[in-house]
Amino acid sequence: MTSELPSNKEGGKNRITQAVFGLILALVAWLILYTINPALLDADLKNVGTATVTVTLDEKIKIYSGGGTCEPITTGLCSPENLAGAGFANGTQASSICKGESNGNASLQSEVDKCKDGNSFSFGLFQVNVIAHANEIPGGVCSGIFEVSGGGTQGACMPGKSKNGICFERDCSVKNPTKYQSCINYINNPANNIAYAKNLQAARGWGQWGANASCHF
């Protein structure tokens, strides 16, 4: 604006005009957002919620008893492309089982495979059963954690704790809480969960998974 050249003065006026217009536009946008919901203006990332996917007990019982849907997850860790790249012979089949087991939630704790003390024993994308496979999971990280009573590897089904032929509470309990948490941390790691599930499926087929009842692989 202090230039002697008329063209420079005009350019300065234009910049000031645009700056004022920008400030007015920003103020109007702020007022609109504040009117809709003041929380929209909160820039503190600590307050941003974490999106989680839950699978209810009734939903899982429906899937495990053959009444669920069978379709792959299109994106993410359980997409057909990702699971085929991880070594599954058929990525679409693997993705469909993963959807039925966890809906792609890498930190899911089972609502069906639970002990009488309330602790789950199946975790992660493919809901790996850490009682049934305790001695096969690498490094012994999941062995010697549970006390099991009654029939079967996972313990007898507690009275009145079954629906549609699916038991959702077993006669078992955690006897080593520290190792139990270490086991959860290990098997919830997507790379570990996918790798173990891939090897298990290659050796024994999809019959190891309850979601197979709805997918029939």
> pLDDT tens, 43-87?
554 554 544 445 689 999 999 999 999 999 999 999 999 999 999
Tokens representing 156 are: 């007898």
Give 2 or 188, the one with higher predicted confidence: 188
- Average pLDDT of 176-188? 97
CA atoms within 13 A on the CB side of 37: 3
68, part of any domain = yes
Flag whether 52 is in a domain.
no
- Identify whether residues 42 and 14 lie together within a single domain: yes
Mean pLDDT across 6-21: 79
Nearest-angstrom CA–CA distance, 169 and 120: 9
Report whether pLDDT(105) > 50: yes
For residue 194, what are the CA distances in angstroms to 43, 70, 160, 168? Answer: 36, 19, 34, 24
Pick the more confident residue, 7 or 135.
135
63 and 170 in a single domain? The answer is yes
pTM of the model: 0.74
Q: How far apart are CA 211 and CA 87, in angstroms?
A: 20
All residues at 6 or more sequence positions from 125 whose CB lies less than 8 Å from its CB, including other chains: 77, 78, 98, 101, 102, 104, 105, 106, 108, 190, 193, 194, 197
Say yes or no to pLDDT of 111 above 70.
yes
Q: What is the DSSP string of 145-156?
A: -EEE-SSSTT-P
Contact indicator for 112, 168 with CB cutoff of 8 Å: yes
Residue 176 pLDDT greater than 90, yes or no? yes
Per-residue pLDDT, 82: 97
Q: Based on the structure, what is the number of domains in the chain?
A: 2
Tell me the pLDDT band of 104, cut-offs 50, 70 and 90: very high
Give the model confidence (pLDDT) of 130-171 as tens digits. 999 999 999 999 999 999 999 889 999 999 999 999 999 999
Q: Give the chain's mean pLDDT.
A: 89
Asked if residue 34 belongs to a domain, the reply is yes
Query: What is the percentage of the chain residues whose pLDDT exceeds 90?
Result: 72
Shared-domain flag, residues 70 and 95: yes
Please name which of 49, 66, 205, 200 lies closest in space to residue 122, comparing C-alpha atoms. Answer: 200
**Residue 16: which domain range?**
6-47
